[in-house]
Chain A
Amino acid sequence: MAVSSARIGPVLARPRLRELFDHERVLGPAFVSPALLLIGLLVAYPFGMALYLALSDAYIGRPSQFVGLRNFVTLWDSDAFRQTFQNAFVFTGTAVTLKLVLGLALALLLNEQLWCKRLIRGAVLLPWVIPTALSTLGWWWMFNSLYSVVNWTGIHLGLLEPPGPNWLGQRHYAMAAVITVNVWRGLPFFAITLLAGLVSIPRELYEAAEADGAGPVARFRYVTLPLLKPVLAIVVLFSTIFTFSDFNIVYVLTHGGPINSTHLFATLARQVGLESGQLGQGAAISLYLFPVLVFVVWAQLRFVRRQVY
């Protein structure tokens, strides 16, 4: 008997399972659960872990205790952290503004009928496609004090006095260098996304505006810009988050120097959390701007929703 029931069991079970999947209430969660599991494992768990570490005095390989917000308060005593806080806003503010202005200009240009349009559009994406660490290494060679091709060219063209600017050794030049590389890398993202927005604007609107006597500036101001606003808001939102949390460029180019003047939250968190072993403080540094960024996301998404609906 046992043998026969064991053989019959699966045969009966199969249709039952199939019937079960006919219900949306079962099928829906079944489809979503792998994605939820992945998000849980790869996003929620590390994030929860980071929150816990930030609220503890965790030190590599040692038992830790809950210390509340102490890490967030004591960080203000550190000169390097205060400097980093300032750097993050200067870096992000300048880089995002430049990327927005230049990206919009580039998108408008790419939207015109250009010779070899596809090739140029493909080429524009290159900085975005190359691994950041690799391209930044190229920039490092260009800014390197011994081999700088930027200085060499400037000096040979008579534009610079030898030995030329000390790109990575002087605080303002170093900040300019990391911003330059960030803008160079982030520009394609702006340009291509805005281009997609531009392409979707109906031609008739421009024709109607033109018939009403609107010039190029007026067309841009009253047709392009308002219709591009939702895309602009999303691009700026994404870029702000990515730029705030940038790591590769600073790590490869300046390592946070000179005198911490280019450290960002991610690079300082690495220095404190991993190199010095203070996981708690490191996590607190990387989460410091989390509330601010949550607010930015909320405000921008609200703005976008209002624009769209």
Chain B
Amino acid sequence: MESPTRRQFLATTASGLAGILASRTPPAVAQPREISYLCWNNFAPASDRKLAEIGQRFTRDTGIRIRIDHIAHTQQAAKYASEVQSQAGHDLVEMRMHFPWLYEPQLVDVSDLVAELEKKYGKPISSAVETAYVRGVWRAVPQYHAQFVCAYREDLFRRAGLKIPDTWEELYTVGKELKKLGHPVGIPISQNYDSISTAGPVLWSFGGMEVDRDGKTVRINSPATEQMLEWYRKMFRDCMEPEVLSWTDASNNDALNAGKASWIHNPVSAYIVARNRRLPVADVINHHRSLAGPHGRHETDVPRHIAIWKFSKNIEPAKEWIRYLLGRREVYDEYIMSGDAFNLPAYTGLQDHPVLRTDPKFAALRAEGVQFHAYGWPAPPSDKVQRITNEFILPNMIAKAVTGTPVKEAMAWAEREMKRILSG
């Protein structure tokens, strides 16, 4: 056979490449069974290591290669926006809270997967339904959730002879004493998500809400909000230090673990970090159940899901990964156990999970009598309600009130801003 000339070679490869580019389909030999999964840097790092290990086993068992990438949670929104706009990127993505509402038209219907999991583990928890079940379709598969509790310094409470609080009012009573000891309470009032995670429960416990169930009527300017703001004002004045106005999501954990703060409202991550790094404070941190107000005991949790982009060319292998990670009980258990009770199962049948018995300090996570909600409750999640969250209207209203703006004026400001967002 005559060997091809350089000209023939170039012409053949160029036309072949043009054909591939025009059809936008790789030739069969180049189609790998490979998927990519983008998720956040978990606050419980051991669970990311476990995920990598499970990924390797998945490849061995199914022949599908998986690439797992991690990204800081603050970068997720920007990264997802660029993937959607360019219609290219990962096949699977981890979604926090209301993300499935934000990216709804871009996400594959995964109702079949959720139905399979429901049969095994029971219905998904309410906050997962609220955030991933979009207009009658599951746009993401509930994976796990982090749950807010109260972390406190047992030794300081004992030293001052203080009772563990059961209501937000009682927290004020003990908080005054704790501040006098030089160990203030640490509730962030700044442009971060932890601020909303506390502001929401306090507002709900006083009977307030941002937007009504219809998703249209703004209800922030109310006597309940006024009570909540008065509570924040006295907490800020008598139990906390002005530093909370500058805090990031990590600051309350840092303040507790550095030995300064005496009480914070957070998932158990502060304790996990203290324990794993063998900080002296780990021995004296414990958790108690969420606090109540005149209208009950409400709490924030952060459900996380796995979704598949519609532009993915590997939808079936991607579904296989979800089935492998979440659908096999032994794998799911192993994954949950690696998260040190920071990642809790997202299905009602698994709520009494063995991970809660791995440390006596996780007892408060059983959370009897606590109602969990995602941000914006009771308004149905929507892109606009999400925007109220992302513009930090709630923490900014509180920040205004605690730094001198009259309560009524702060409420009127928040009402105006929320109405603007909903009408936009």
Contacts and interface: CB of A to CB of B under 8 A. Distances in A.
Interface of A: 6, 10, 59-62, 74, 77-80, 145-146, 163, 166-170, 174, 254-260, 270-279
A75 to B, nearest CB: 10
Interface of B: 7, 77-78, 80-81, 84-85, 102-103, 105-106, 190-192, 241-248, 251, 254-255, 258, 260, 383, 386-387, 390-392, 396, 399-400, 403, 413, 416-417, 420, 424
A47 to B, nearest CB: 16
Interface centre among B192, B245, B254 (most CB of A within 10 A): B245
Contacts of A279: 81, 85
Contact of B399 (A61, A78, A259, A272): A259
A25 to B, nearest CB: 29
Contact of A277 (B81, B247, B396): B81
21 contacts: A6-B7, A60-B80, A60-B106, A61-B84, A61-B106, A145-B251, A146-B258, A146-B260, A166-B246, A169-B242, A169-B244, A169-B246, A258-B191, A259-B400, A260-B191, A270-B78, A273-B81, A274-B77, A274-B78, A276-B391, A279-B81
B247 A145 contact: yes
B243 A275 contact: no
B246 A167 contact: yes
B248 to A, nearest CB: 7
B386 A276 contact: yes
A163 to B, nearest CB: 6
Contact of B105 (A61, A168, A256, A273): A61
Nearest to B420: A77
Nearest to B78: A274
Nearest to B261: A146
Given A78-B417, A163-B241, A271-B390, A260 B396 contact: yes
Given A145-B251, A169-B245, A258 B399 contact: yes
Q: Is the interface of A mostly helix, strand, loop or mixed?
A: loop
A278 B242 contact: no
A146 B255 contact: yes
A77 B420 CA distance: 7
Contact of A256 (B191, B248, B254): B191
B195 to A, nearest CB: 10
A279 B244 CA distance: 31
A146 B417 contact: no
Contacts of A78: 417, 420
Interface centre among A6, A259, A271, A278 (most CB of B within 10 A): A259
Nearest to A273: B81
A256 B248 CA distance: 12
Given A257-B191, A258-B191, A146 B243 contact: yes
Contact of B243 (A61, A166, A256, A278): A166
A147 to B, nearest CB: 8
A6 B420 CA distance: 71
B391 A271 contact: yes
Given A74-B424, A276-B387, A166 B191 contact: no
B102 A258 contact: no
Contact of A257 (B78, B246, B413): B246
Nearest to A165: B242
A59 B383 contact: yes
Contacts of A260: 191, 396
A50 B248 CA distance: 31
Given A60-B106, A255-B191, 12 more contacts: A61-B103, A77-B420, A145-B243, A166-B245, A169-B247, A257-B191, A257-B245, A259-B191, A259-B396, A260-B396, A270-B78, A274-B77
A260 B245 CA distance: 12
